[in-house]
Amino acid sequence: MYQGIAYFVFAILLCVRAGASIGRLTEVTGPTQIVRGSEKLDGKIGTELEQEDTIETLKARVSITFDDDTQMHLEPYGMHQDSLQRTVGRM
């Protein structure tokens, strides 16, 4: 019985972590959007980021502060999912 409860709690923890924030936008100097699955969100200061997000910029510089206070700065004209995945890795 206790083993079944442990598996259930573990499954819930995995589901909660799957959509968890890894950081947030702390500087946005122009048009920016976050692609999350099939959604497109406005990239504004304070927008929370998740593991598989893609950040798209035009004439914008974007800074991200991750939950461990690490910072990343992205330059204009790019799609930056690969940069995020290399920095954060698989959680």
Question: What is the residue-level pLDDT of the chain in tens, covering all 91 positions?
Answer: 434 333 333 344 344 445 689 999 999 999 999 999 999 999 999 999 999 999 888 888 999 999 999 999 988 876 665 555 544 443 3
For the whole model, what pTM was predicted? 0.66
Q: Quick one: pLDDT at residue 80?
A: 61
Question: Which of 78, 41, 83 lies closest to 59 in space, CA to CA?
Answer: 78
pLDDT at 17: 46
- Report the pLDDT value the prediction gives residue 19, as an integer from 0 to 100: 66
Nearest to 52 by CA among 26, 87, 81: 81
pLDDT at residue 50, rounded to an integer: 94
How many other CB atoms sit within 10 Å of the CB of residue 81?
14
Please report the pLDDT score of residue 5 as a whole number: 36
pLDDT of residue 57: 84
